[in-house]
Every structure is written in structure tokens, then in C-alpha cells.
Chain A
């Protein structure tokens, strides 16, 4: 009885679909899953079927512009800010890395080799664009105006830390600068950036999401690429391919043509550019941003580069790579050195300015450092705050219990270090 009724309904309402079915024998593949042609040739499609995506660059390894039409017409002040921010980042990294070695901060990660990726991309965005980072993007924050004091305060987790002492060093975040607070789990920021971009559709703002060659292996990366494509989100998925994920070289991370080859596979416009070339980074990000705003669709950028420093202060990379390899990159394709050459050739920089700047940079970093070290931590009860917007009863109870305990056993707790 039910079947008859169903068939009756079918005949009445679905005549068109039935007609369509007859066409299956007369045309090319009509499968919903792909728009393509037939073949009678049974051959593998392999990693080498497609030519590897070339790396876009503006300057050669020595800092000479190859095609002047690609030289971005940036004002001198911008070019100088780009360079000096790169060098300030180097200076801060050097001092803070050392301070961890001395036991003064608990942990640090440097950015050596990736200065151009940070500064070049940051310079092509607006302050209103939102940044989701992984952990090696301090240059982006620096470009936007995060102060040396703010960097140091977070590393010390003192009472002025915007993160209120909750996280390990380098887990920066700044609401004013639209830089979403870093979290340690890798790749989690990727689908979040895509969702954020969805929410910002039509606003004229874009989201940029930084991630590494290693993080790109996480399931969240796949999710991000696919959601960005299907839901058409104005997000730049910016991969810092620096050749290593801690000790794991890219050969052990993937076998395809890097991360860039994955973009088109998901239906996403993609660019691959020289991460050591700050002008290429700028141009690529600028083009990506324009596309995102105009089309409200995503772009994958793969910035090719090399991680000069160790993964972090917990890592000694001589355990898995040769010093020669590191020196080779540092000397023959150095993002800051080649940009310095570019600026020097333009008459905007020289050795004297370099000396002066580095001297001042060191002083400024040290001033912030000394001040940051002196500041007390937040009040220790802060550790019970911000679990929820309003503190629920059960957390209040636990806090009060601990207050009584600390009152009684004060001498066993570092209360003097806290406000």
C-alpha cells in the first residue's frame, strides 16, 4: 500500500528527473562528484604529473631586483620600517633567547630566517585585518605596534601581561592589534580563522592565518582548506614552510609538492613565494588580500624559507642538522641581509645607520627587559579568573579554600613574587 502511494507520488512529481536519467547513456561523465571527461587510457596520475609550482620572487639571493615592474612602490618610510622592524625582531630574539639560557624566562622561540615572511605579509594587511598565528609570527605583532615591553611582560607573565600570566612565553595576543592569542596545539587556529573570516564576510576585512609546514599535516589544516573553499571565506591561509617541524624535515612531513599543491586540489587560489624576499612577501600578500576582499574567497600562500634558529630553547638543532647547512642559508640567502643590500642600493641605509640602530635597539630591549623582570606577577588568585565570564560558585569555593590554605602555609608559597 505504501509502495503504491510512493510510486504514484514519484510519477507525478519527478518526471523531469526520470527524463534526465535517460541521458546517462548519451554524454560525457555526468557524475555529481567531478566535472571532467572520459579516457580509455589507464595511467597513474603521480606527484610528477604536474610541474612543481614555481617560487615567485622579486629580488635575487643578493637583493637585486629582477623585474623592476614587480618592485612595490612603497614610500621610503615604509621600507625603512620594514627593515628596522626585522632588525629589532632579531635583537629582541637574541636577548630573550639568552635570557632563557640564563634561567630568567622559562622558554623562548626565535624567528631567525623568517623576518621577511612576518614583516612582508604584515605590511600588506590593514590594522583591521585579523591575525590567527601559530607561534613564530612575532614580527607580525611587532609591525602592528606590540611594544617591546608588552613582549617582555608576556614572557615574564607579570602583572602587566595582557594574558594575565596564564600561558608560557611567546603565547602573545592583543585585542587592540587584532592578533588572536596564540595557543600551543598546532593547526587549531586554521579552521578558527576560516570561521572568523566567514563572520567577517562583506566587512572589507580579511583574516590571515599563519601555520607551518608541520602544522599543515594536522587534520585541522585539511578542515580549514576545505571549509574555506566550500563556504567561500575571505581568509589568507599563509604557510611558513621553513623546512623543519622541530627535527622532522619536510621529506618526512609530506611527499607532494609542498603545501601549495594542496590549494588547487581543494579549489583554492594559491600562490607560492620566496619567504626570504620581503618584497615578494609583500606583493603576494597584497594580491591575496585584494582577491579575498573582491571575491570573498580564500587564498593559500606558501612562503618558502628556512628556519635558521632552533625550534625553541628546548631544542638543539645540531642534533639533526649540520651547522654547515644553517651557515649556508644564513650567508647565501638571508632575508635581512638581502633587504639591507636593496635599501643600501637605494641610498636609504648604510653601515653607520645600522650600527646606530642596533645599539639603540639593544638598549630599548634591555630597558624593557629589566623593567619586565622587576614587575611582580599578577595577584595569585588570578589563576581562578576568566574560566567563565562570571566566576561560578564551585570555583569561588575552591579559590576560598586555597586562600585559607595559603594564609596558613604562606612560607611554602612564593607569595612575595605576586602582587
Chain B
């Protein structure tokens, strides 16, 4: 705690140095962040990064709903990613509090609170550590409404977890576990690509009548900055976004990868005059088959990219559906550029990620097929 006080004071007094540092860090990212072109709702906006937008959403949730609780490891002081800064001071330790270090406890506790009608917003510190809570999420949260004939549910449950590559996270600070949970009917899963989506999707999850999991790409917490609507707003779960319209190839991704794909689309245009359509899937469960298939039927070539390993990755589900629904439209096999079938390595990260060069190469192959 003392260390954090020093850091906070230090940070405040050294913002200029920090900005320079941040820029250096950004140059080391495998992606270039592209802010959303327009705001989804009218009205006043304010410049926020993704953790600030999440903080803002949590504030709104706590403000508008007396039953709302925010808890998890280290949330009281502000959270290891600063998503919960200021919330305990504002809403009190009865509503914003630390739990013991126990993910199965955090999610089990959250389910019970949700059963009684409390809006339970649980934080898992890193998605890599969500697995002790797998039983509670998959066997309990997802199935509670179904197995009780609708008598009981934990619709008021939202679980947040930072996910994805961050440059140096290695095996246990970089994982994208969406595929494990996508295989669980009864859950909803979303992945924001930036601050606006993070705020809108988090509020949507909090207010959704089903248990939701929001995986927040940690690499975007600071790197993603946007003009975020000040008002309280929700964005639809289950709806993909077409970020860039194109004619020849459909590029599908979620989270950080969306920004890689936007850059790839630009490179494809400048390097070999290919027009790419970029889709942010946004929602893993339920996922927007209609938007994807509509696009693929138009372009006839598709690349799916995700950081998670290839085998059993969510790209496989999207690919299987595309070939089922769009078979006769396809001019080339569905391509997937993903993390390899290895655990997520440390120093080898530049070789592991589905970077823009691998994606660009895959597009060339699709066009040349």
C-alpha cells in the first residue's frame, strides 16, 4: 500500500516523463490502436482510456443500482489495472471490497449474491487465473436457470477479467480463454476493442438478465484512448461491428486483434490493392452469424484471426459455420491465423502472435487461391 502511495504521488508529478515512456511502450506493441470513428450515442464525450472507461461504467452501475457490488482481489485500492479506482471511497466498503485470494470463492460468492437479486460484478485479476472458477461458471452459473426450471438464476452476475497479450505476459498473463467458455450454453461472452465498447458492453453485461463474462484485453487499458460518451449507455451483446467496408476479403477478429486487422486491411490496400472488410465479432456467445455470413457471401474470402491457440480456438467455430452457410459462395478455404498450439511464451512472443505479417500473407494466399 505504501508503495502504491509513492507511485501515485510520483506519477502525478511526473506525467510528462510518463507520456514519453508510454509512447516508447506503444512503439513496442504489435498493434496500432485505431479509435472508433463515431460515438454510438449522441451527446457530450470525454477522452478516456479503456481502464478509465471501465471505471466510469462501474461507477454508473454502482450509482444507478443500489444493489450493485464490485469485488475481487485488490479492487479496494483501485485494482492492479486501476479499473476500480475511487469506487470504494465513493460507495463504501460494503459495496466495493476485496475478497480473499480465491477465484472459485469469488465466482461462487458472486453467484449467490446474484441469486438474491444483488447485481454482482466480480473481477478475476487475470483471465489466466479464471480456471479455479471454471466449475462455478460452467456447472453452476451457466446452468442455474435451466436446471431449476427458471425458479432460480444468476442473471445479475457479471465477471470481468483482463485477457490477452501484453508484450511480456508469457504463459500466465497473456491467455485468451474465450473458447473454453464459448462451449458453455447459458453464458454470454463479450470482448471490447476499446474504451467506448468497454463501457457500453460492461453496462450491457451488468444489466443483462443472464450471467456474462467480459474479457478485457489488457494491452488496451492504456493504449486505447477514445472520446467516450459521458452518458450512461449500453451496447448490444450478440451483434458484430463492421468497422471497415470492403469487397474482396473479410477479416474477422475481436479485442486487440481488431486493430491488427485494421492495419492489415490498410497494408493490403496499399501493397496489393485489395479491398478488405473488417469485422469485430464483439460477442463470442451468442455470436453474430448473420453479419459474418452476409459479409462472406459478398467477399467470398475470409480470414479469422485470434491470439488463442489454433486447435479448438473460437475461429474453428466461426470457420465451421461459414463453410456450412456460405459453402457455394467461397472462392477459397476459410483461413485462420492464430496463436500456435503451444502455451503462450515469453521471449518468443513476437513469433507467437497472429501479427500483421502473418495476416497479410494469409490474405495474399486467399487472393491467389
Residues of A within 8 Å of B97, CB to CB, are 231
Alpha-carbon separation in the docked complex, A167 to B150 (Å): 13
Once the chains bind, are B118 and A191 in contact (CB under 8 Å)?
A: no
Once the chains bind, are B10 and A191 in contact (CB under 8 Å)?
A: no
Once the chains bind, are B120 and A195 in contact (CB under 8 Å)?
A: yes
Q: Number of B interface residues at 8 Å Cβ cutoff, please give it.
A: 55
Q: Which of A168-176, A246-254, A331-339 contacts B (4 or more CB under 8 A)?
A: A168-176
Residues of A within 8 Å of B115, CB to CB, are 180, 192, 195-196, 199
Is B60 part of the contact surface with A, judged by Cβ < 8 Å? no
Once the chains bind, are B67 and A183 in contact (CB under 8 Å)?
A: no
Interface residues on A, range: 35 or more
Alpha-carbon separation in the docked complex, A132 to B186 (Å): 21
Residues of B within 8 Å of A181, CB to CB, are 144, 147-149, 151-152
Once the chains bind, are A163 and B113 in contact (CB under 8 Å)?
A: no
Residues of B within 8 Å of A388, CB to CB, are 145, 186, 188, 209-210
Known A-B contacts A219-B104, A226-B100; A196 and B135 likewise in contact (beta carbons under 8 Å):
no
Is A42 part of the contact surface with B, judged by Cβ < 8 Å? no
Alpha-carbon separation in the docked complex, A9 to B188 (Å): 46
Is B332 part of the contact surface with A, judged by Cβ < 8 Å? no
Once the chains bind, are B140 and A185 in contact (CB under 8 Å)?
A: yes
Is B78 part of the contact surface with A, judged by Cβ < 8 Å? no
Once the chains bind, are B102 and A223 in contact (CB under 8 Å)?
A: yes
Alpha-carbon separation in the docked complex, A207 to B116 (Å): 11
Residues of B within 8 Å of A25, CB to CB, are none
Q: Which residue of B lies closest to A395 (CB)?
A: B185
Q: Which of A10-18, A312-320, A352-360 contacts B (4 or more CB under 8 A)?
A: A10-18
Contact of B147 among A14, A171, A223 (CB under 8 A): A171
Once the chains bind, are B149 and A386 in contact (CB under 8 Å)?
A: yes
Alpha-carbon separation in the docked complex, A300 to B102 (Å): 20
In chain B, positions 280-328 with a C-beta closer than 8 Å to chain A are 286, 289
Once the chains bind, are A195 and B109 in contact (CB under 8 Å)?
A: yes
Known A-B contacts A164-B150, A389-B209; A193 and B112 likewise in contact (beta carbons under 8 Å):
yes
Once the chains bind, are B116 and A196 in contact (CB under 8 Å)?
A: yes
A186 CB → nearest B CB, Å: 10
Once the chains bind, are B14 and A224 in contact (CB under 8 Å)?
A: no
Alpha-carbon separation in the docked complex, A389 to B5 (Å): 45
Closest 6 pairs between A and B when the two form their complex, measured CB to CB? A191-B108, A195-B112, A223-B105, A192-B112, A195-B109, A164-B149
Interchain Cβ contacts under 8 Å between A and B, 29 examples: A2-B17, A5-B10, A13-B9, A130-B116, A132-B112, A161-B149, A162-B149, A163-B147, A163-B151, A164-B150, A167-B147, A181-B151, A188-B136, A191-B105, A193-B112, A194-B105, A194-B109, A195-B115, A196-B116, A199-B67, A199-B69, A199-B115, A199-B116, A220-B105, A230-B99, A386-B150, A388-B186, A388-B188, A394-B289
- Beyond the given A385-B150, A389-B209, please list 17 additional residue pairs across the A-B interface where CB-CB is below 8 A: A17-B2, A166-B148, A173-B151, A175-B152, A183-B140, A190-B108, A191-B136, A192-B111, A192-B115, A199-B112, A207-B112, A220-B136, A222-B102, A223-B102, A224-B108, A392-B238, A395-B185
- Which residues from chain B sit less than 8 Å from chain A, CB to CB? 2, 5-6, 9-10, 13-14, 17, 67, 69, 94, 97, 99-100, 102, 104-105, 107-118, 120, 132, 135-136, 139-140, 143-153, 155, 185-186, 188, 209-210, 238, 286, 289
